[in-house]
A and B are shown apart, each in its own frame.
Chain A
Amino acid sequence: MDTLNPPLSILQAVRRRDHIAHNAWQVFAFLFIGLALAFTLVAAPSGDTFYFRLATEALIYSGLAMSVDLLLGFTGLLSLGQALFFGLGAYTSALVLKHVGPSFWTAMAVTLLVSTAVGIVGGFIAIRARGVYFALITFGMAQVVSKIVYNTRELGASDGIMGIPVIQANFLLFKVDTAQAPAFFLTVLAMTMGLYFCIAYLLRTPFGRTLGAVRNNECRVPFLGYNPQLYKMLAYVLAADMAAFSGALYPMLRGFVSPELMYFAVSGDAVITVVIGGLGTLIGAIYGSVILTGLKSAIGTYTGHYQIVIGVLFMLSVIAFPKGLMGYLSPLVEKWLAGRRENP
């Protein structure tokens, strides 16, 4: 260390550490993309659709889980009703595809408009509450809405909406047919990772850092010159949009939507996903979603009672591994990156 000019070297060290931590996440993100592409290469020639659809579903749910992580891991708000927005996105997209026209971009745009509007209303109700009260209010809102949907004949009541047409998503240079499992998988992969990189970027801006301040000590934030209510509102609406964005992909995959998509089980699974994957890591939501979906499917081939296994795993994670998978793996990668930098 240069003792003559300590501040400079210290700041370099701060920036380097920050950089390494960021790079560790990037490593996991690109590793995930690599694994997903490898999976595509291996599985596509076999003509399989089951595993592609399952993997696509895992990716779709990972968007929901990321929205839970944005709220809980980065802003300190435990949402027990995030499925409300996931379901909202799924229903909006389903209605647009069925009644307006089979256009991918129209469905996504309308979904985001609707989820932003509903997110603002929901945020207005929810963000005044703190801690467990926020958890219970989001839980209550999702329950009310899901019961209303369940009882609304125009939305197909308990059956949901079926017969959503297969669409061709137009990406200018090429078109993707949602019925082609590998192609749609790659599309959802691109969208999910795109979402991940956008949010990961946002969390590195002053906006994202201020969310961290709200999570850490909300009472102090006003005395730094920020309105915490505004930041909580922005996080809430952003999370609503993320969940709805993922939800909008669901009917394109499965061809139907049902009120179950809004149920507590879906919200709860998203929380489990984030805790197992690593709270406050963002990438953990994606890995967690793959793990959870994979586990459910694997155990499901032997017994219908996979919830026992998942519940035990979840509780173990809360008690013994509170940092989650990514929380324990990332320091290892950071160490490796730091070592590589020192001995090139």
Chain B
Amino acid sequence: MGGAVDYIQFVFMPQVFNGLTIGVAVILMALGLTIIFGLLDVINMAHGEFYALGAYLGITLASHGVGFWLLLIAVPLVLLPLGYGSDRLLIQRVFHQKDRHMLTLLLTFGLAIIMEDMFKLAYGPNTIRPETPISGGTELFGNFFPSYRLFLMVFGTVTIAAVWLVVHRTRYGSMVRAAAFDKHMASSLGVPVGKVYSATFAFGVALAGLSGVLLAPIYSVFPTMGKDFILMAFAVVIVGGLGNIKGVVFAGLLLTQVQAISSLYISPVWADPLVFAIMVLVLMVRPQGILGGKLGHA
């Protein structure tokens, strides 16, 4: 009996907790991906590289003495104009063509290749391990949790709530939703659709960068980190329903728990295939995702 309680407390619970912290960061990244898809219908293949860019920018800024707290604001702020520019220069260029789904996917894929190689060029191919900004641990319910992970969970949850508020409660958010619902209608009502598109791309990319800063101390930083992580984000976005914010939160928590718990019981090497198997299954059975419904309609 005592063994079972110990098992739950010292093996099972920490794993669930780790899953939660990663889940929160994945949700942040996937939110950007899903908002970009929900509004622009663009599958951003470079999203993982923007996540990596966030992490690398964090390292550079930190080496110039910028403190961690400031990074949480500075990195997204730097990424905003980069995202805005990427949309103006690349995506809007092919946006009005008939097969824009394919073209934007290909363009962002090209961007991803270039960015990944730029990281190698600028930072070298090796793994960089940033110092944990909050060291030590905190005791909760008789368990010892790393303080940084606790912070990540709280901060991430607040940010997710803030994103929800931005999309559903602000003027910008209502313009985004109007444009996602019917861009011609929104345009005739005076919504600057082009700018809203670019701003949304920038916003999504900044969220990816923020999750890069947050996860860097846990996962380390290396050039292909985006590619390793984007799979999880895609899985979350698809399972939750492309373009659906609530779906991302739900699927993000679900899939990271599947990953964490299956690592415990099956084997860590089977955790990723399991997550992608769920994604493929959802695509087959319910391509609109578990919660369905896009940005403008949800």
- Mark A residues whose CB is within 8 Å of B: 72, 78, 125, 128-129, 131-133, 135-137, 139-141, 143-144, 147-148, 151, 264, 268, 271-272, 275, 304-308, 310-312, 314-315, 318-319, 322
Instruction: Chain A residues near B194: list those with CB within 8 A.
Output: none
Given contacts A78-B102, A144-B276, A271-B106, are A136 and B43 in contact (CB under 8 A)?
A: yes
> Interface residue count for B (Cβ, 8 Å)?
37
Find out whether the CB atom of A318 lies under 8 angstroms from the CB atom of B110.
yes
Residues of B contacting A148 in the complex (Cβ-Cβ under 8 angstroms): 273
A140–B227 contact, CB under 8 A?
no
Is B113's CB under 8 angstroms from A268's CB? yes
A129 touches B105 (CB 8 A): no
Residues on A with beta carbons closer than 8 Å to the beta carbon of B238: 136
Complex: how many Å from CA A318 to CA B279?
A: 29
Are A308 and B118 CB-contacts (below 8 A) given A148-B273, A271-B106, A318-B106? yes
From A136, A314, A318, contact of B113 by CB (8 A):
A314
Tell me whether A318 and B234 are in contact (CB under 8 A).
no
Bound Cα distance from A106 to B292, whole angstroms: 48
**Residue of chain A at shortest CB distance from B110:** A315
Stretch at the interface among B19-27, B208-216, B280-288: B280-288
What's the minimum C-beta distance from A92 to chain B, rounded to whole angstroms?
20
B residues adjacent to A (C-beta < 8 A)? 43, 90, 93-94, 101-103, 105-107, 109-114, 116-118, 120-121, 227, 231, 234-235, 238, 269-270, 272-273, 276-277, 279-280, 283-284, 287
CB-defined contacts of A318 to chain B, threshold 8 Å: 94, 103, 106-107, 110
Chain B residues whose C-beta falls within 8 Å of the C-beta of A305 in the assembled complex: 117, 120-121
* Pairwise interchain contact A315-B107, C-beta atoms closer than 8 A: yes
> Are B284 and A125 in touch, CB under 8 angstroms?
yes
In-complex Cβ contact of B234 among A128, A140, A307 (8 A): A140
Q: Within the complex, which residue of B43, B276, B287 is in contact with A140, where a contact is CB–CB below 8 Å?
A: B276
- Can you name 13 A-B pairs with beta carbons within 8 Å? A132-B101, A140-B276, A140-B279, A148-B273, A151-B269, A151-B270, A268-B109, A271-B106, A308-B121, A311-B114, A315-B111, A318-B107, A319-B107
For B106, the chain A residues whose CB sits under 8 A away are: 271, 275, 314, 318
Residues on A with C-beta less than 8 A from B121 are: 305, 308
Residues of A within 8 A of B235 (CB): 140
Residues of A within 8 A of B280 (CB): 125, 137, 140-141, 144
Given A264-B227, A272-B110: 20 more A-B contacts, CB < 8 Å: A128-B287, A129-B287, A132-B102, A133-B283, A136-B283, A140-B231, A140-B279, A147-B276, A151-B269, A306-B117, A307-B113, A307-B117, A308-B113, A311-B110, A311-B111, A311-B113, A315-B110, A315-B114, A318-B106, A319-B94
Bound-state CA distance A318–B106 (Å) is: 7
Minimal beta-carbon separation of B95 from chain A (angstroms): 11
Q: Are A311 and B105 in contact (CB under 8 A)?
A: no
B107, B227, B272, B283: the one contacting A137 at CB < 8 Å is B283
**A140-B235, A307-B117 known; A135 vs B105 contact (CB < 8 Å):** yes
- B295, chain A: closest CB distance, angstroms: 16
Residues in B neighbouring A319, C-beta threshold 8 A = 90, 93-94, 107
Question: Whole-angstrom distance between the alpha carbons of A308 and B120 in the complex?
Answer: 10
List the A residue with the shortest CB-CB distance to B89.
Answer: A319
**Contact residues in B for A129 (Cβ distance below 8 Å):** 283-284, 287
Q: How far is the CA of A13 from the CA of B105 in the complex (A)?
A: 39
A125 to B280, CA, bound (A): 8
Q: Which 4 A-B pairs have CB atoms at the shortest separation, nearest pair first?
A: A311-B114, A311-B113, A307-B117, A315-B110
Q: Which residues of B lie under 8 Å from residue A308 when comparing CB positions?
A: 113-114, 117-118, 121
Residues from chain A with a CB closer than 8 A to the CB of B120 are 304-305
Decide: B234 and A132 in contact? CB cutoff 8 A.
Answer: no
Closest to A313 in B: B110
Instruction: Give complex CA distance A83, B250 in Å.
Output: 32
Smallest Cβ-Cβ distance to A146: which chain B residue: B273
Q: Is the CB of A147 within 8 A of B273?
A: yes
Which residues of chain B are near A78, meaning CB under 8 Å? Answer: 102, 105
Residues of A within 8 A of B277 (CB): 144
CA A257 to CA B76, docked complex, whole Å: 42
Contact A147 B272 (CB under 8 A): yes
* A240 CA to B240 CA, complexed, in Å: 30
Max chain A C-beta neighbours (<10 A), residue from B94, B103, B109, B272: B109
User: Which of B43, B107, B110, B113 is within 8 Å of A135, CB to CB?
Assistant: B43
Specify which of B111, B116, B276 lies most central, judged by the most chain A CB atoms within 10 Å of its CB. Answer: B276
In this complex, what residue of A is CB-closest to B125? A304
How many Å lie between the Cα of A305 and that of B121 in the bound state? 7
User: Whole-angstrom distance from the CB of B36 to the nearest CB of chain A?
Assistant: 12
A322 to B103 alpha-carbon distance, docked (Å): 9
A24 to B111, CA, bound (A): 34
In the complex, chain B residues whose CB is within 8 Å of the CB of A304 = 120
Residues of chain B within 8 A of A306, CB atoms compared = 117
Known interface pairs A268-B113, A311-B110; A132-B105 also in contact (CB < 8 Å): yes
B105 — which chain A residues lie within 8 A by C-beta? 78, 132, 135
Q: Which residue of A132, A151, A315, A322 contacts B43 across the interface (Cβ within 8 Å)? A: A132
A50 to B106, CA, bound (A): 32
- Nearest chain A residue, comparing its CB with the CB of B94: A319
| A61 CB to nearest B CB, Å | 16
Interchain CB contact (< 8 A) of B114 among A128, A312, A322: A312
**B283 vs chain A, min Cβ distance (A):** 5
Interface pair A271/B276, CB less than 8 Å apart: no
CA distance A151 to B263 in the complex (A): 14
Given A144-B277, A318-B94, the answer on whether A307 and B43 have CB atoms closer than 8 Å is no
Which single residue of chain B is at the shortest CB-CB distance from A308? B117
State the Cβ distance, A321 to closest chain B Cβ, in Å: 13
A120 to B70, CA, bound (A): 53
Determine whether the beta carbon of B110 is less than 8 Å from that of A314: yes
